[in-house]
Amino acid sequence: MGMLSILPTMGLLLTSLVLIAVPVLVTQRLGLAEDTANGLYGYAQGIIATETILAGALSKRLHSESGSYIMAGCALCVVLNGVVLHVLQGLMAIYIVLVTGCGLLTMLSTVFQDRNKL
């Protein structure tokens, strides 16, 4: 019963995290000009969407025996993004790590949800 309640909640929380937090972080937190921030956000969404589609296509070939490792990977992606926002000073370094972390987060989430379908 526990897994049945985790799947919808995980999808809801991670999707809203990526769809709402990434634009806010790119446009407001990085302090870039509006045109630059909007362009970078567009690239970020494209990269994240491509990684998610790739994960969905390849999830059947991935042999994950335990969903707990995938969930731990999702948690590490969130922690990594938070640490990067507080530690790194370079705007593009922060941007690259955020996009990579969020892309990996959505990939792992997709694999987790696909591997645990009932």
How would you write the chain as a 3-class SS string?
A: CHHHHHHHHHHHHHHHHHHHHHHHHHHHHCCCCHHHHHHHHHHHHHHHHHHHHHHHHHCCCCCCCCHHHHHHHHHHHHHHHHHHHHHCCCHHHHHHHHHHHHHHHHHHHHHHHHHCCC
| pLDDT at residue 115, rounded to an integer | 63
| pLDDT at residue 66, rounded to an integer | 64
Contact present, 70 and 115 (Cβ < 8 Å): yes
| pLDDT at residue 83, rounded to an integer | 92
More confident residue, 83 or 14: 83
| pLDDT at residue 116, rounded to an integer | 61
The average confidence (pLDDT) of the chain is 79
| pLDDT at residue 8, rounded to an integer | 65
pLDDT 10s digits, 47-104:
888 888 888 787 777 655 667 787 888 889 889 988 998 998 888 898 899 888 888 8
